[in-house]
Structure 1
Amino acid sequence: MPRPKPQPDWIGQTIGNRYKIESLLGQGGMSSVYKASDPNLSRTVAIKVIHPHLSNDPQFLRRFEHEAAAVARLRHHNIIQVYDFNHEDNVYFMVMEYVSGSDLKDKLKALSSQSQKLPLEETIRIMTAVCEAVAYAHEQNMIHRDLKPANIMLNPKGQPILTDFGVAKMLDGMDQTVTGAIIGTAKYLSPEQAKGERPDERSDIYSLGVMLYEMVAGRPPFDADTTVAVLMKHVNEPIPDIRQIQSNIPEALIRVIEKALDKDKNKRYQSALQMAVALKTLNLDGAGYEENEAAKQTVASFRMQDHENERAKTDESIRRPITPPPVIPATAGSKSNSSLPILIGIGVLALLLLIGAGAFLAFSFGSSPDEEPETIAEATTETVEQTAEPVTQEEPVQEPEESNIAEVATEVEEPAANPELPSSQGMIQIPEGTYTVGVDTADRDHAASQEVSLDAFWLDQYEITNAQ
């Protein structure tokens, strides 16, 4: 059945009440592509106008709207940008970024007519960028399914721009004879696509391998008079040895091509990113790419620019030090286990120091044997007895306090009949009871967990200093 004729000439007309058609860029079985101007934004655009026979197919239109919306979300400098898709009456169209220049198919054809090939450095540069773009699209769950040189535009700077994402899926299930979609595409289809199986990311990788083979050798690996014959070769025949066509190809590059073109998709590169890294790390003068640690690190760090901010946040969270678990406070009415031994130690040490200081001062003042040193002992004994049961008094009574002992010691010549205990202000009472000290897991700086029994006692709330 012959291919349907495209829509009547749109040149000079306005579509969508906005875009003015200027010239025809190309046409295929699904659409015609026009160069147009967008007066609202003062820019040149490309418009893909769907042929009438497809515009009358409700199934196709549903896929067209779904895929156009998905493709419009792609944001990559090597993927053509879709600005809009709409319809005017029964005319459906897609508005895209306009890329001046030619496609890769025309470039390879022009070189072949002069018995020339792309320099290896340029081939690797172009294919690395294309692999990056495909890897990005795969991350967005978009499989191209129709990768070929005709779908790669080269802008004036020589940068590749990948086009026609989603088109193959729009045509899925359509009569391929009517659409003409298989014609010209069979040379780049994977074996699983040739067998009618559902394609995945690795199918795109096979197509990338076919393009790389063609760019290096000057022709695709398989060709025949009919589409079916080409498809059968992809399924059944081994890839022709590229060395027989081009003898000076580095072995490292040959290994990349052969891996991408493996009949078994499980033995190909499992992602387009892996293939991009393999190309980017090629050593054309030496042994070439190896799956060593350096290459793995390159894979880990080689990501698309669109994800830089997200990775930076992730890295920052990874680098953030782990905070140790907080110490669980003790039950109400007691200090934490770790603080209790310190408070006890401070209290005992202060008590011993002040007792010693009092004795030293007493002897230093030269007390005669006629004086009654027992006064110190008596006063101390009395104080201890009162402190043993502080709760029996209406006002909490302190244990022997350094200020009390010091006062008795320095005023031994005229002891008070009934020495007055200081106020409990500035002191805290440690209740009697059994306390757990230490930690569950002992180490160099911490003792093992154990229980100690203590009587009630009073303790200064603040440390004693020389100034006091």
Structure 2
Amino acid sequence: MSSSNVNLPEKYVIKKEIGSGGMARVFLAEDKELGKYVAVKVLNLDSTSPTSNQQRFKEEMRLVQYIKSPYIVRFYEGKYDKNIKYLAMEYVQGKMLKEIIEIQGRLQPERAVDYAIQIAKGFAEIHAQNIVHRDLKTSNVMITNTGQVKIIDFGIAIGSDTTRFTQTGKLIGSVHYLAPELIDKQEASPQSDIYALGIILYEMLIGHPPHRGKTPLETALKHRTDTITQVNKIYPNIPQALANVVTKATAKNKNLRYQSMRQLEADLSDCLSQRRATEKPIILDEKDNSSKRFSLFSRRK
């Protein structure tokens, strides 16, 4: 499907394709009525596209209309009928967080925390609408030219009243950021998004995600079986309080994670402060749902 064959209202003048995936293609277009550039997401309707893609696209269009946040790409309009299926969104000038990490390597703690706080603020608004994103990853986070976060792509998000379109035995989400409870039971919750943000924070601080298997399935299973090394054991310049944030956000037991994005945001907001400069490591006991703080250098009796 070339851009000349894309069925859109006449007010949209397509400039170029800026993204594509199994479900849809995204075009940069000029909206002649608004007098600005927009990103237009158009559903793929070829003969090989599964029906579930159409259902997910329709659900994404429904969900994004409820979210109002400066940290989330703005929805303008959309249409879903027999002849045309598209949604028009804010066009973000900047780079994907994934690209920034690939080009620059690991980020300094101050910058990583800044981005993480903005993501947490955006997700607090998402969760306030009873929506779980389920696919938070560095390629779904845009950073504008002024350093502002914009969360994009709600293609597999679910609301409290969403009909689930997943197939039994099929992983939904990106394996590098997949919370353990999503692997077997597919139990999506705000804690699943919190886990993904914890993984993103690790990736920003270290330069790559913590788990890298030989196959996607092997990578996914590592979230359930492998311990995530504390980030300051890899790079000692990372403050212990920040390392503790990563540890708590990525707990395998979701009950040990932050219980809301607001809690995570609050912890991030002062993890680099002088007040917490002497903080001790946090050790989460996944068995009894409790946590203890102690010095790795303390003497045991």
| Class of the TM-score when normalised by the shorter of the 2 chains | 0.7 to 0.9
The within-5 A match list for 1:22-421 is: 22-53=15-46, 57-87=50-80, 89-112=82-105, 117-169=106-158, 172-173=165-166, 182=173, 185-288=174-277
CA offset at residue 157 of structure 1? 0.5
Name the structure where helix makes up a greater proportion of residues. 1
Residues 56 and 155 in structure 2, CA contact (< 8 A), matched pair in contact too: no
- Shift of the alpha carbon at 1:175? 9.2
How far off its partner does 1:196 sit?
3.4
Contact 1:29-1:181 at 8 Å conserved across structures: no
CA–CA distance in 2 between the matches of 1:48 and 1:66?
14
**Larger RCO: Structure 1 or Structure 2 (Cα < 8 Å, ≥ 6 residues apart)?**
2
Distance between the aligned counterparts of 2:58 and 2:134, measured in 1?
18
How far off is 1:110 after superposition? 0.3
Which has the higher mean CA deviation after the structures are superposed, 242-251 or 269-278?
A: 242-251
> Following the alignment from structure 1 to structure 2, what is the Cα–Cα distance between the partners of residues 128 and 75?
17
Cα deviations by residue, 1:386-430 (Å, 9 ceiling, x for unpaired): xxxxxxxxxxxxxxxxxxxxxxxxxxxxxxxxxxxxxxxxxxxxx
**What SS does the corresponding residue of 1:15 show, helix, strand or coil?**
coil
Over 3 Å counting, the alpha-carbon distance change for 1:11 and 1:276 in structure 2 is farther
* Count of residues in correspondence between the two structures: 275
Give the structure-1-normalised TM-score: 0.55
Distance (Å, rounded) in 2 between the aligned partners of 1:12 and 1:54: 16
Name stretches of at least 5 consecutive residues in structure 1 with no aligned partner: 1-7, 291-468
| In structure 2, C-alpha distance between the alignment counterparts of 1:250 and 1:174, rounded to whole Å | 42
| Cα distance, 1:24 vs structure 2 | 1.0
User: For the pair shown, which has the larger CA radius of gyration, 1 or 2?
Assistant: 1
Distance in 1, Cα, partners of 2:85 & 2:235: 46
**Aligned residue for 1:462?**
none
Go from structure 1 to structure 2 and tell me whether the alpha carbon gap of 1:141 and 1:166 turns closer, same or farther (over 3 Å shift).
farther
Instruction: Provide the identity percentage.
Output: 32
* 1:21 aligned residue: 14
Q: TM-score when scaled to structure 2?
A: 0.83
User: d(CA) in 1 for partners of 2:47 and 2:257?
Assistant: 36
Mark the CA change 1:109 to 1:201 in structure 2 (over 3 Å): closer, same or farther: same
Instruction: Give 1:167 shift.
Output: 3.1
**Offset at 1:168?**
4.3
Task: Give the match for residue 380 of structure 1.
Answer: none
Q: Conserved in 2, the CA contact under 8 Å of 1:55 and 1:91?
A: no
Q: Which amino acid aligns with 1:267?
A: L
